[in-house]
Chain A
Amino acid sequence: GIQVEQSPPDLILQEGANSTLRCNFSDSVNNLQWFHQNPWGQLINLFYIPSGTKQNGRLSATTVATERYSLLYISSSQTTDSGVYFCAVVGGTSYGKLTFGQGTILTVHP
């Protein structure tokens, strides 16, 4: 099946700093989503982005499908950004099944 690798595994920032999270995938995808899992365990949709670039406030994402990677940018980080960020993909023949990466644990200190 499709493999999803995220980097870095851990990231520690001071409030106000910017960061880039990366997601590499091993095959073509029909769907790519970024999620934030908050400290209460809730999985929050950030982006649905199988290709192209999207922005939502301080967050933006870019997926280059031909090169099999996606980037999540967080600008002016806040303590509420802390949590785990997951990238998940639906492979070309997976009919909607999301395969998750292992996540990036982000900690933002005040």
Chain B
Amino acid sequence: DARVTQTPRDKVTEMGQEVTMRCQPILGHNTVFWYRQTMMQGLELLAYFRNRAPLDDSGMPKDRFSAEMPDATLATLKIQPSEPRDSAVYFCASGTRSDTQYFGPGTRLTVL
């Protein structure tokens, strides 16, 4: 049963620390998305890649967030330095161009 995996599942860190979240998309999916869920904003897109190339990162705060896809089996989302307002659940999803997107279990980030 193919599924998107994310690590870590939970992360607690202090303000100013670097945070790295990782995602393994479903094999064969060429599009990878990063979403963030908060109580105030709901689910919102941060960035996405197609065939490992970044297509849109307009949803990310550029000064502290970065997203990369070093190979077809790994996507990363980094926050440096982290702030309390970054506390949220971060989801990775993968799919093909116009088909169903499948979501990972999420990384729950708490920045103290």
Contact = CB atoms under 8 A, between A and B. Distances in A.
Interface string A68-102: 00000000000000000010101000011111101
Nearest to B101: A98
A100 B100 contact: no
Given A96-B31, A97-B45, A42 B105 contact: yes
Contacts of A64: none
B55 A95 contact: yes
Contacts of B97: 96
**Interface residues of chain B: helix, strand, loop or mixed (majority):** strand
A103 B42 contact: yes
Contact of A97 (B48, B89, B99): B48
A101 to B, nearest CB: 8
Interface residues of A, number: 20
A100 B48 contact: no
Interface size bucket, B side? Answer: 20 to 34
A58 B93 CA distance: 26
Contact of B56 (A90, A97, A99): A97
Contact of B95 (A86, A96, A102): A96
Interface in A34-54: 35, 41-43, 45, 48
B57 to A, nearest CB: 11
Interface of B: 31, 33, 35, 42-45, 48, 50, 55-56, 89, 91, 93, 95, 97-103, 105-106, 108
27 contacts: A31-B99, A41-B89, A41-B106, A41-B108, A42-B105, A43-B91, A43-B103, A45-B100, A45-B102, A45-B103, A48-B100, A86-B43, A88-B43, A90-B98, A96-B48, A96-B50, A96-B95, A97-B33, A97-B45, A98-B33, A98-B93, A98-B101, A99-B45, A100-B43, A100-B44, A102-B42, A103-B42
